[in-house]
């Protein structure tokens, strides 16, 4: 868990398939940038397409995904990027599947309010909630 002015914080990084089933879950420190966990999310994982938000816009990640054989990478560029890339805006609309999966996790009050003081306990409950959601 990361420490910030608000206290202990954490971020949930996850991958879902096209229908919103959880594939991989990682809990990172809240004061850490999103793309630092991207390598762990994509290691030994070969999806057909990767849709991510601007927080995952990094040149090394794009190269890593291309080397892994991902056919479609849809990550919009940050505004402060020197060379702006184009991305498929229609395909990016499908990223709402990820947002809906996160919202399903947040229906569990323990995850939404992050009562757990240790990352291990928080991660354990996220995995339990994700398993329950996947079974529905």
CATH number for 2-135 (one of 3.40.50.10490, 3.30.70.141, 3.30.420.10, 3.40.30.10): it is 3.30.420.10
Per-residue model confidence as pLDDT tens digits over 10-60: 889 999 998 999 999 999 888 888 888 888 888 888 888 899 988 888 889
Q: Smallest Cα–Cα separation from 101: which of 1, 5, 25, 30?
A: 25
Estimate the share of the chain in helix, then strand, then coil, as percent rounded to the nearest 5.
45, 20, 35
Cα 56 versus chain centre, distance: 9
Mean pLDDT of 68-73: 89
Report the pLDDT value the prediction gives residue 43, as an integer from 0 to 100. 84
Q: Smallest Cα–Cα separation from 85: which of 67, 62, 68, 64?
A: 62
CA–CA separation, 69 and 66 (whole Å): 5
Per-residue model confidence as pLDDT tens digits over 99-127: 999 999 999 998 888 878 788 888 999 99
Query: Do residues 69 and 59 lie in contact, with contact meaning Cβ atoms separated by under 8 Å?
Result: no
Report the pLDDT value the prediction gives residue 5, as an integer from 0 to 100. 52
Cα 104 versus chain centre, distance: 14
Tokens of 118: 């240790």
Tokens of 52: 């991510």
Strands (E), the chain: 2-4, 7-16, 22-29, 49-51, 72-74
C-alpha to C-alpha distances, 50 to 4, 38, 68, 132, nearest whole angstrom:
30, 11, 11, 25
């Amino acid at each position: 868990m990361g420490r910030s002015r608000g206290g202990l914080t954490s971020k949930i990084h996850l991958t879902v398939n096209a229908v919103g089933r959880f594939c991989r879950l990682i809990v990172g420190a809240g004061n850490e940038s999103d793309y630092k966990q991207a390598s762990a999310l994509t290691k030994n994982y070969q999806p057909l397409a990767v849709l991510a938000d601007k927080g995952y816009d990094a040149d090394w990640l794009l190269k890593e995904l291309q080397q892994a054989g991902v056919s479609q990478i849809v990550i919009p560029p940050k505004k402060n990027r020197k060379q702006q890339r184009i991305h498929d805006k229609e395909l990016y609309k499908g990223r709402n599947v990820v947002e809906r999966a996160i919202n399903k996790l947040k229906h569990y009050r323990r995850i939404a309010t992050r009562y757990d003081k240790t990352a291990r306990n928080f991660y354990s409950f996220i995995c339990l909630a994700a398993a329950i959601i996947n079974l529905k």
